[in-house]
Amino acid sequence: MIPTVQEPKKLTEFPMDACCFCRAGTRSWTKIAARPLGEQVACCQGCAKTHKVAEVPSKDEWFKAERDRDRERRRRAGVRV
């Protein structure tokens, strides 16, 4: 069980973030006491229930994974990267 917090309402006009485990769009973020605020990652409610804090990627890892997937998606769509 990973502690999470919902993104504040005033930010809901922004696109949802991809859960660090299943990549579903979510407005839920981790709230891990051992991490500073800027190091939390998006994590949906479902994954928060089934994963452990130790399994949560660091923000750098999460960003990198998202970037790689983004690049791969564009490559498949035939866009030059």
CB nearer Zn ion, residue 2 or residue 44: 44
Give CA–CA dist 21/67, Å, rounded.
15
Q: Rule CB under 5 A: choose which of 28, 47, 51, 56 binds Zn ion.
A: 47
**Interface with Zn ion, residue 48, by CB under 5 A:** no
Name the one range near Zn ion by CB under 5 A: 15-23, 29-37, 53-61, 73-81.
15-23
CB nearer Zn ion, residue 12 or residue 50: 50
Would you say the C-alpha torsion 8, 9, 15, 21 has a positive or negative sign?
positive
Asked if 28 and 4 touch (Cβ cutoff 8 Å), the reply is yes
- Residues facing 5 on adjacent strands: 29
Contacting positions for Zn ion (CB under 5 A): 19, 21-22, 44, 47
